Structure 1
Amino acid sequence: MSTSTASVVATYTVTGMTCGHCVGSVSAEIGAIEGVSGVEVDLPTGAVTVTSAAPLVEADVAAAVTEAGYELTAAPKPELPQASGCCGSGGCH
């Protein structure tokens, strides 16, 4: 019997980023939040997708973004936790 770990994925919108340095700063600050395992930033749209072991407190994410010098302008779009390797159909055991 294998044990799978679930991840929580949330997408935020950050404004003020204009270059790769901005992306790096935001990624580093959010990545330092306990439980964060991945950060992907789409510079043109400002979308920041965060993968974590458990749901994050939005105020913690906002504080990290502010520390990097930018602004969190939209709350995350809720996404259901997915088990690693799960197809998302809900029929996995």
Structure 2
Amino acid sequence: MTAETNTETAQATGSCCSSTGSCHDGAADVQIGGVTTVYQVTGMTCGHCEGAVTAEISELPGVTSVQAVAATGQVTVVSDSPLEETAVREAVDEAGYELVARA
């Protein structure tokens, strides 16, 4: 967890609670994060390439964040749950590039 995540979770649960941390029914608890997967993609050479890959992968259900870096060929994807690699491969293909493997 990052410091930002810890701060957001603490704010969601509140600090007025007893040592049990439960002054409510838990409905307001916020769980920030998800599954982070790094993929190796070939063919990206510039910012336009990064944008095309990011746009296609971002359309997949459950994806919350995508960061593509042409210089390394790595694409970091954060999603609510694990993604089917086939779906990610198809999205990268649709953008005009090739998913080699998980990095």
TM over 0.5: yes
Equivalence for 1:85: none
Equivalence for 2:43: 16
Q: Structure 2 stretches of 5 or more lacking a match? A: 1-21, 23-28
Query: How far does residue 31 in structure 1 lie from its aligned partner after superposition?
Result: 0.3
SS in 2 for 1:22: helix
- Structure 1 residue 4 and structure 2 residue 31: aligned? yes
| Alpha-carbon distance between aligned partners in 2 of 1:70 and 1:12, rounded to the nearest angstrom | 12
Identity of aligned residues (%): 50
Deviation string, structure 1 residues 36-68 (Cα, Å, up to 9, x no partner): 000011211101000000000000000000000
More strand by proportion, 1 or 2? 1
SS in 1 for 2:93: helix
SS in 2 for 1:74: strand
| Alpha-carbon distance between aligned partners in 2 of 1:13 and 1:58, rounded to the nearest angstrom | 12
Query: How far does residue 3 in structure 1 lie from its aligned partner after superposition?
Result: 4.0
> What amino acid maps onto 1:7 in structure 2?
G
The two structures have a TM-score, normalised by structure 1, of 0.76
Equivalence for 1:83: none
- Structure 1 residue 70 and structure 2 residue 100: aligned? no
The two structures have a TM-score, normalised by structure 2, of 0.69
RMSD of aligned Cα (Å)? 1.2
Query: How far does residue 5 in structure 1 lie from its aligned partner after superposition?
Result: 4.1
> What amino acid maps onto 2:89 in structure 1?
A
Larger radius of gyration: 2
Q: Structure 1 stretches of 5 or more lacking a match? A: 78-93
More helix by proportion, 1 or 2? 2
- Map 1:41-80; keep pairs closer than 5 Å: 41-75=68-102, 77=103
Deviation string, structure 1 residues 5-28 (Cα, Å, up to 9, x no partner): 440000000000111110000000
